[in-house]
Structure 1
Amino acid sequence: MRAVWMVLLGALIGLQAFAAEPARVMLEELTSTEVQQALKAGTSTVIIPIGGTEQSGPHMALGKHNVRVKALAGRIASRLGNALVAPVVNYVPEGAITPPQGHMRYAGTLSVSAEAFGGIVEGAARSLKQHGFRDIVLIGDHGGYQPQLKSIAARLNHEWSATPARVHFIEAYYRVAQKPYNDVLRSKGLSDAQIGTHAGTADTSLMMALDTSLVHPERFEEAARDGARTGTVGDPRKSSAALGE
């Protein structure tokens, strides 16, 4: 899996590091026959991208994590050449529902239990192994479920130890996406308060580089002015697609 790590690092350093992924790496866009043919031709790796549906302030769409992880997974798969991308897992734990906690305090956020989430990820991995994929890669765009993904990978690898199949939890996907990118923004004169940890300049610029239609710059001022009310931790007013590239 060293190849996955190297390609991952390249994809995270810049969203334009690779050409846009061809549609044919997306499992949901293929027929069953095409998947079978790909497996016979040597496509042995599949990436399960995990996102989440959560509030990202008044200025950014709820599907931020889903858009980002799908785009990067597609680029990684395209560069590897022997990989496909499973549909994004977009129902994840986001906090207690009743009474609402965490991101569930903001309209539109969807949350499921850790058990339900684990069942979805594990079921997807088992399905893909059954079809013949040998390297099943988990990458998650949200911090909250990283330990659970690690646990799922360890448990399945123990169970599958006598088989060629392995689950690879790429912890670096989330970790590397944070510090190196934030360091780049600091080098451009942005403060930690502007960069933020949720829906600030970092998050917002990455989304603008992928899809500007999902960001509303006219609402940056509102997000920066009252973060506690809007769910923003950071200041998005300096955000731009150029910073996200």
Structure 2
Amino acid sequence: MNEIRVEYMTSAEIGEAIAGGARTAILPLAAVEQHGGHLPLSVDADHADELAVRIAKDLGGALVLPTVRVGYSPHHLGFPGTLSLRASTLEAICEDYGANLAGYGFERLVLFSGHIGNHPVMRDFELRLKAKLAPLSVIVFTDSEAILDAWRRAAEDVASLGGNVGGHADIAETSVMLVLHPDKVRVERCARGYSGTVDEEFLARAFSEGIAAVSPNGVLGDPAGASESIGTACLEAVTSLIVQHARARGA
């Protein structure tokens, strides 16, 4: 059996997988939020679904928990349809997801997010979550800059378009969606958004005032030049980042 997503397995199959050496659970976090005029609100959840399976397969001995599809997105609430959990709610969900894993035989939980906006919340609750879920080993990946750098390198290496990466509904996320769900991309509506420097000062303003204040169309970067080849390179690069982080911490 090739299925590793627990929601599509039977309880007996999960037990057999654990008995056979699957001791790592992968927990993908995501968001349901605006992604410009050309991408659906499911981008981060679709992305997290795919990354989780890739990470689990690369690590080996791992099963994938259901993606937490709604995340922490108050900075996107200026756009219709965006949903957002309170930080405390997201923390509680992660705690509840992990509460019984050790009892089933899992030894570690790898937590990552397809939505960079979850990272500040995850960094805040990381130590509390580790304490609450002990003896389960909890490994949390929250290196936002490493992800952006990986996207820039991928877009630059494939098409010399690293400058179009801005971090939201840009060439990277649009390319990833062209790989995963090309039918969901409204190519004719692609438009450039904020293309200035994305630094700590900019991010602080975006989080405090909302994305609409810094980019009226909700895009950070430029989707122009998006392609399946860039999307594949982005998926491979981010998978590698998270797998290396997890392995360095015992996964």
Alignment partner, residue 58 of structure 1: 37
Alignment partner, residue 224 of structure 1: 192
CA distance in 2, matches of 1:225, 1:185: 17
Task: Count how many residue pairs are aligned between Structure 1 and Structure 2.
Answer: 212
Matches within 5 A, 1:228-239: 228-239=215-226
Letter paired with 1:29: Y
Asked if residue 208 in structure 1 is aligned to residue 208 in structure 2, the reply is no
**Structure 1: gaps (5+ residues):** 1-21, 96-101
CA distance in 2, matches of 1:82, 1:218: 42
CA distance in 2, matches of 1:94, 1:156: 21
Report the 3-state secondary structure (helix = DSSP H, G, I; strand = E; otherwise coil) of the residue aligned with 1:52: coil
Asked if residue 158 in structure 1 is aligned to residue 137 in structure 2, the reply is no
CA distance in 2, matches of 1:50, 1:119: 13
Asked if residue 180 in structure 1 is aligned to residue 180 in structure 2, the reply is no
Q: Could you give the per-residue CA deviations for residues 207-231 of structure 1, whole angstroms, max 9, x where no partner exists? A: 21222112111111xx337993321
Report the 3-state secondary structure (helix = DSSP H, G, I; strand = E; otherwise coil) of the residue aligned with 2:27: strand
Report the 3-state secondary structure (helix = DSSP H, G, I; strand = E; otherwise coil) of the residue aligned with 2:31: coil
Give the % identical residues. Answer: 30
RMSD: 2.2
Letter paired with 1:224: R
Asked if residue 79 in structure 1 is aligned to residue 58 in structure 2, the reply is yes
Task: Provide TM-score, normalisation by structure 2.
Answer: 0.76
Matches within 5 A, 1:1-245: 24-95=3-74, 102-159=75-132, 163=135, 165-172=136-143, 174-187=144-157, 188-190=159-161, 192=163, 194-220=164-190, 223-224=191-192, 228-245=215-232
Letter paired with 2:24: T
State whether residues 38 and 185 of structure 2, in contact with CA within 8 Å, keep that contact through their aligned partners in structure 1. Answer: yes
**Structure 2: gaps (5+ residues):** 195-211, 233-251
CA distance in 2, matches of 1:169, 1:51: 14
Q: Could you give the per-residue CA deviations for residues 136-181 of structure 1, whole angstroms, max 9, x where no partner exists? A: 11011222221332343322333455x3x21111234x44321022
CA distance in 1, matches of 2:193, 2:111: 37
Task: Provide TM-score, normalisation by structure 1.
Answer: 0.78
CA distance in 1, matches of 2:96, 2:31: 17
